[in-house]
Amino acid sequence: MWEKIKSGGLRSMVDSLSMQEATDLTFTYGTMNYKPLPVNIIRGENARVWDETGREYIDCIGAYSAVSHGHLSPNVVKIAKEQLDNIAVVSRAFINAEVGLFLHGLATFCELDRVCPMNTGAEAIETCIKLARKWGYTKKGVALGDAEIIVFDNNFHGRTTTIVGFSTEGDYNKYFGPYGAGFKSVPFGDIDALRAAITPNTVAILAEPIQAEGGILIPPDGWMTQVRELADEHNALVIWDEIQVGFYRTGKKFAWMHESGAEPDLIAVGKPLGGGILPVSAAVGKNHVMEVFQPGDHGSTFGGNPLGSAVALAALAEFETSDIPTRVAELGGKAMDFLNNMNLPHVQEVRGRGLLLGIEVKEGVDTKALSQELMAQGVLTKETRKRTFRLTPPLTIEEDTLMDALQRVEKAMSAVPV
């Protein structure tokens, strides 16, 4: 195998590898921290993907929002190819024009002042945590070592040791401690619990505007505004994690924008910022927070590389020039109507906003069998927590493809015993 790859035969290797061979390689040489569905995806175009036999599927996960522009968006790919004729990685030891343009473009797009570029979502969150703590010590006057950040039960902010340390999900954190102090978790959407948890040492409140991994959980109307008000009363920062729900996923540019009084000091962005082809993330915020970083405080070898910067600019440009901003709410509404009218005894509740949709099935429905049935129907999705099947297709999915996918979901569900 390696002989063939060394002599330039990777593509033909990929095409000739069977599903079983690809699976065996994955489980023999990889760690076992994922349990993938048995489908070997080797090609994609917008919302459709193909396996090694040429069988077509509709991608209803869209890499958890990372593929919001669709697989291999022509605009993004074109910019990436142009960039690969020039330069890809220089490190931030030097100035680079693409990075400068990216920082300006993203700050403007986010309606905030400054950007600290990273690669993955977890790194963007870690960056927000460091910014908030240094802000707390140097600007709010919290005694060194005492800063507290309030987070929410059922949160998902990534997989680093600091972040899983404040997860309330046993699978994520049972064996990976000891963890650092400085986080307090309260029930999501419960403003009284949040009020009771705030102390003079609270430097920030870190929340997802909608808990996506947690099962597509939407807080009560007005909650985000109340979070902002509480933070103002106690001189604390508001940090929204927009990594999965940002960039029009819920129909607004950012999910916090569903409430006019929910303006953040800092947001974490990632996933679709990479245009569906690269990891690009960032902490983006107001000057009064961002200015606390001085040389040496933080960094990332690949964060803010020219290739990622060019690709992210292409991704942002596509949001500004395509019909994505208007079509998501419309398609989401149609999808929601369809799901609510399915009238299947399997369904506990349908939740969502825009093209972030969750179908919670009743206890007793065999979710594994349903996953298999969905795959047999040519629809790719998996359940997240709380028995909720997530639908987060590319925001560029054609309307008839989306409706086709929903009909297949209905068919798959009817085929599984309640």
Ligand X SMILES: *Cc1c(COP(=O)(O)O)cnc(C)c1O
Shortest gap between Cβ of 55 and ligand X (angstroms)? 28
Size of the site for ligand X (CB under 6 A): 15
Of positions 64, 172, 179, 338, contacts ligand X by CB under 6 A: 64
- Determine, following the binding rule CB under 6 A, whether residue 121 of this chain makes contact with ligand X: yes
DSSP 380-391: E--EETTTEEEE
Q: How far is the CB of 149 from ligand X (least distance, A)?
A: 15
Strand partners, 51: 41
Window 213 to 232, contacts with ligand X (CB under 6 A): 213
Q: Which is nearer to ligand X, 244 or 305 (CB)?
A: 244
In this chain, which stretch among 36-44, 240-248, 292-300, 380-388 interacts with ligand X, using CB under 6 A? 240-248
* Residue 126 binds to ligand X (criterion: CB under 6 A): no
The least distance separating ligand X from the CB of residue 159, rounded to whole angstroms, comes to 6
Query: Among 166, 271, 293, 302, which one carries the catalytic annotation?
Result: 271
**Residue 212 interacts with ligand X (CB under 6 A): yes or no:** yes
CB of 373 to ligand X, least distance (A): 26
Contact (Cβ atoms closer than 8 angstroms) between residue 346 and residue 416: yes
Structure tokens at 97: 């024009």
- Catalytic-residue membership of 411: no
Torsion sign (Cα): 251, 63, 168, 177: negative
* Dist CA 176 CA 129 (whole Å): 19
Q: What does the alpha-carbon distance between residue 374 and residue 376 come to, in Å, rounded to a whole number?
A: 5
Which of the stretches 90-98, 152-160, 358-366, 385-393 binds ligand X when contact is defined by CB under 6 A?
152-160
Q: Is-contact 268 115, C-beta < 8 A? A: no
Query: Which residue number is nearest to ligand X in terms of Cβ?
Result: 121
> Is the Cβ–Cβ distance between 109 and 312 less than 8 Å?
no
Q: Burial, 233: exposed, middle or buried (Cβ in 10 Å; 0-12, 13-18, 19+)?
A: exposed
**Positive or negative torsion for Cα 166, 297, 240, 182:** positive
Stretch of 30-38, 71-79, 208-216, 359-367 lying at the interface with ligand X (CB under 6 A): 208-216
The residue (of 207 and 402) whose beta carbon lies closer to ligand X is: 207
Q: Is 241 a catalytic residue?
A: yes
C-alpha 356/C-alpha 393 separation (Å) is 8
The residue (of 155 and 377) whose beta carbon lies closer to ligand X is 155
Of residues 15 through 44, those in contact with ligand X by CB under 6 A are none
CA distance 319 to 343: 35
The one segment of 48-56, 142-150, 153-161, 174-182 that binds ligand X by CB under 6 A: 153-161
Does 158 engage in binding with ligand X (CB under 6 A)? yes
DSSP for 273-294 reads GGTTTS--EEEEE-HHHHTT--
Q: Residue 217 carries which DSSP code?
A: B
Whether 166 sits among the annotated catalytic residues: the reply is no
Reference 82, options 377, 307, 365, 417; nearest CA is: 307
Candidate list 102, 134, 183, 241, residue with the active-site label:
241
Closest to ligand X by CB, 157 or 353: 157
Task: Decide: is 120 part of the binding site for ligand X (CB under 6 A).
Answer: yes
Query: What length is written for the chain?
Result: 418
Q: Using an 8 Å Cβ cutoff, are 265 and 285 in contact?
A: yes
For ligand X, the closer of residues 57 and 156 by Cβ is 156
CB of 39 to ligand X, least distance (A): 21
Among 202, 244, 388, 396, binds ligand X (CB under 6 A): 244
Close Cβ partners of 417 (under 8 Å, ≥ 6 residues apart): 366
Q: Which residues bind ligand X (CB under 6 A)?
A: 64, 120-122, 125, 156-158, 208, 212-213, 241, 243-244, 270
Catalytic residues: 156, 241, 271
